[in-house]
Structure 1
Amino acid sequence: MAKVVAFNGSPRKDGNTSILIGHMFEELENEGIETELVQVGKKKVRGCTACMKCFENKDGHCVFDDDIVNSCIDKMVEAEGVILGSPVYFLDVTAEMKGLIDRAGFVSMANGGLYRRKVGMAVAAVRRSGGSRTLDTMLHFLLATGMVVPGFPVLGVGREIGDVHKDEEGIGRARDAGKNIAWLLKIKETAGDS
């Protein structure tokens, strides 16, 4: 059975980003795809120091092992699909999400492309400004690491927890993204491509 893991960069465990991911998961689970949500926001996530030890060690991990990043890398490697989600914080992703993508990206490159040809998707919750840039930051990670993005990323509008439920277009995009991920995973499975 295929599996999709989502990384929620929001410090609000049940906030708007999580709600959007939940709608994507619903569509994936309807297609028999296993899902897992990893709460990254509000966890200790160190930023990348560009020490390049991952290129020396080539062991599939970051040399810093005092936070959740190596566990997240393992989950990305094991899954067939990866969703990155973040609310907009000062016109971009949260610091935790940035730390994750910087370090996971370097480790992937250092080890020959750990996430190549996995299915990836980005989702952002926005109040007003910075949604495009936030999605762009996460999309750059997905594309730079060789993932395939099936369709337009998800953007939901809402400030207070639950406000995103009022954004019918955002919810529709989340559902559509879940269907697109499931569709592509089924094609990959049929083709036997990993």
Structure 2
Amino acid sequence: MKVLMVNGSSRQCCTFTALSEIGKVLEKEGIEWEIFNIGGEPLRDCIGCGGCKNLDGACVFNDDAVNEFLKKAREADGYIFGSPVYFAHPSGRIISFLDRAFVAGKKIFTHKPAACITSARRGGTTASYDVLNKYLGICQMPVVSSSYWNMVHGNTPEEVLKDEEGMQTMKNLGKNMAWLLKCIEFGKKNGINAPENITTVRTNFIK
């Protein structure tokens, strides 16, 4: 089993530090993990062209990190998406990234457990956390929680490590993710598979 984590910052800084703490716990639980860094290169927005419908889990734009991530995502059993807080909101980079990844790769993520984490110097963490969790809800992904909302505080990696409750939250998140993955694996081995959902009805508010 493997958890793929996304660092939605252009740097390997505070968000990366929090994700790494989760990774340490996953490793102790026998779960593989990897951090995918979005990085600082230019990243396109979704333009709603619909071209991904014909590409089987890939975006039409192939000049940034999204398709590379989607290839890795196919092999993962769970996901954690992390973002720094900019103006009480997730980074614009991760929003553009997830818009395209979830439109193009919705089938890849469906029914797989996931969590979101946020990192801030001071405020805006809960608002950002709410935004990120909406991606999970629309893909029927079991949301993995912790002993507090999944967030850390600090302006540097060193400060993040001093956030004792934040680090505790990350550790418990790792434990909960490992537990849920093992439960799902046990269920599959005993004939309990993901439900087949009805997705044929789409209505507009004017109808």
TM-score scaled to structure 1, two decimals?
A: 0.91
Structure 2: how far apart are the matches of 1:68 and 1:103? 11
Cα pair 1:41 1:96 within 8 Å, conserved: no
SS for the counterpart of 2:74 is helix
Cα pair 1:41 1:97 within 8 Å, conserved: no
Counterpart of 1:25 in structure 2 is 23
1:95 paired to 2:89 = no
Counterpart of 2:198 in structure 1 is none
Shift in Å, 1:106: 1.0
Counterpart of 1:4 in structure 2 is 3
Structure 1: how far apart are the matches of 2:175 and 2:87? 31
Counterpart of 1:35 in structure 2 is 33
Cα pair 1:3 1:35 within 8 Å, conserved: yes
Cα pair 1:127 1:157 within 8 Å, conserved: yes
CA deviations 1:71-96 (Å, max 9, x no partner) are: 11122221001110011012211122
Shift in Å, 1:131: 0.6
Aligned positions, number: 188
Structure 2: how far apart are the matches of 1:21 and 1:178? 9
Deviates most, 156-165 or 171-180? 156-165
CA deviations 1:27-49 (Å, max 9, x no partner) are: 11001111011111313321111
1:168 paired to 2:167 = no
Structure 2: how far apart are the matches of 1:68 and 1:44? 9
Q: Select 2:115's aligned residue among 113, 121, 129.
A: 121
CA deviations 1:120-145 (Å, max 9, x no partner) are: 01111111221112111211111212
Counterpart of 2:72 in structure 1 is 75
Larger RCO of the pair (alpha carbons < 8 Å, separation 6+): 1
* Root mean square deviation of aligned Cα: 1.4
Give, as a single letter, the amino acid of the residue that structure 2 aligns with 1:139: N
Provide runs of 4+ in structure 1 moved above 2 Å: none
Q: Select 1:131's aligned residue among 125, 128, 133.
A: 125
Counterpart of 2:200 in structure 1 is none
Structure 2: how far apart are the matches of 1:43 and 1:145? 27
Structure 2, gaps ≥5 residues long: 195-207
Shift in Å, 1:176: 0.3
Counterpart of 2:105 in structure 1 is 108
SS for the counterpart of 2:62 is coil
Shift in Å, 1:102: 0.3
Give, as a single letter, the amino acid of the residue that structure 2 aligns with 1:172: Q
Structure 1: how far apart are the matches of 2:8 and 2:81? 8
1:49 paired to 2:43 = no
SS for the counterpart of 1:146 is coil
Give, as a single letter, the amino acid of the residue that structure 2 aligns with 1:174: M
The percentage of counterpart residues that share the same residue type is: 36
Shift in Å, 1:190: 0.9
Give, as a single letter, the amino acid of the residue that structure 1 aligns with 2:164: E
Give, as a single letter, the amino acid of the residue that structure 1 aligns with 2:101: A
Cα pair 1:44 1:67 within 8 Å, conserved: yes
Structure 2: how far apart are the matches of 1:115 and 1:27? 23
